[in-house]
Amino acid sequence: MKVQVRSHLHWRPELSGEHELQEPVTIKTFVENLNIAWNRDVLIVVNEQIAEENYVLQDGDRIDLLVPLVGG
Protein backbone atom coordinates (compact mmCIF):
# COMPACT_ATOMS: atom_id res chain seq x y z
CA MET A 1 0.00 0.00 0.00
CA LYS A 2 1.35 3.43 -0.92
CA VAL A 3 0.46 6.93 0.27
CA GLN A 4 1.67 10.27 -1.06
CA VAL A 5 2.96 12.88 1.42
CA ARG A 6 3.45 16.59 0.76
CA SER A 7 5.34 18.25 3.57
CA HIS A 8 4.79 21.99 3.89
CA LEU A 9 7.00 21.98 7.00
CA HIS A 10 10.15 23.99 6.30
CA TRP A 11 12.03 21.93 8.91
CA ARG A 12 10.98 18.54 7.44
CA PRO A 13 10.95 18.78 3.62
CA GLU A 14 12.42 15.28 3.33
CA LEU A 15 9.05 13.80 4.32
CA SER A 16 7.57 14.66 0.92
CA GLY A 17 7.17 11.77 -1.47
CA GLU A 18 5.72 8.32 -1.70
CA HIS A 19 5.68 6.16 1.42
CA GLU A 20 5.04 2.42 1.31
CA LEU A 21 3.14 0.87 4.19
CA GLN A 22 3.39 -2.85 4.94
CA GLU A 23 0.07 -2.91 6.79
CA PRO A 24 -2.87 -0.61 7.43
CA VAL A 25 -2.18 2.02 10.10
CA THR A 26 -4.02 5.01 11.48
CA ILE A 27 -2.93 8.47 10.38
CA LYS A 28 -1.89 9.17 13.99
CA THR A 29 0.45 6.16 14.05
CA PHE A 30 1.86 7.06 10.64
CA VAL A 31 2.61 10.64 11.69
CA GLU A 32 4.12 9.59 15.02
CA ASN A 33 6.37 7.12 13.15
CA LEU A 34 7.70 10.16 11.27
CA ASN A 35 8.66 11.64 14.68
CA ILE A 36 5.96 14.30 14.53
CA ALA A 37 3.72 14.89 17.53
CA TRP A 38 0.04 14.46 16.71
CA ASN A 39 -1.94 17.73 17.03
CA ARG A 40 1.09 19.69 18.22
CA ASP A 41 3.71 19.97 15.51
CA VAL A 42 1.52 19.82 12.44
CA LEU A 43 -1.98 20.04 10.97
CA ILE A 44 -2.70 16.86 9.02
CA VAL A 45 -4.95 16.79 5.97
CA VAL A 46 -5.85 13.55 4.16
CA ASN A 47 -7.47 13.80 0.74
CA GLU A 48 -8.19 17.52 1.34
CA GLN A 49 -9.96 16.98 4.68
CA ILE A 50 -8.60 17.57 8.19
CA ALA A 51 -7.73 14.13 9.51
CA GLU A 52 -9.18 12.45 12.57
CA GLU A 53 -6.58 10.48 14.52
CA ASN A 54 -8.36 7.14 14.07
CA TYR A 55 -8.57 7.37 10.24
CA VAL A 56 -7.02 4.23 8.73
CA LEU A 57 -4.88 5.06 5.72
CA GLN A 58 -5.93 3.62 2.36
CA ASP A 59 -3.87 2.91 -0.74
CA GLY A 60 -3.44 6.11 -2.75
CA ASP A 61 -4.26 8.54 0.07
CA ARG A 62 -2.76 12.02 -0.24
CA ILE A 63 -1.42 13.42 3.03
CA ASP A 64 -0.54 17.09 3.51
CA LEU A 65 1.53 18.09 6.53
CA LEU A 66 0.79 21.76 7.20
CA VAL A 67 2.14 24.31 9.64
CA PRO A 68 -0.58 24.82 12.27
CA LEU A 69 -2.11 28.27 12.45
CA VAL A 70 -1.96 30.10 15.77
CA GLY A 71 -3.09 33.47 16.91
CA GLY A 72 -6.31 35.29 17.27
CATH value at residue 43: 3.10.20.30
27-48: average pLDDT: 92
Cα(36)–Cα(59) distance, rounded to whole angstroms? 21
14-31: average pLDDT: 96
- 38 confidence band (pLDDT: 50, 70, 90): confident
Asked if the structure places residue 72 within a domain, the reply is no
Asked if the structure places residue 19 within a domain, the reply is yes
Residue 72 pLDDT more than 90? no
Asked if the structure places residue 33 within a domain, the reply is yes
- The total domain count for the chain is 1
Q: What is the pLDDT of residue 70?
A: 66
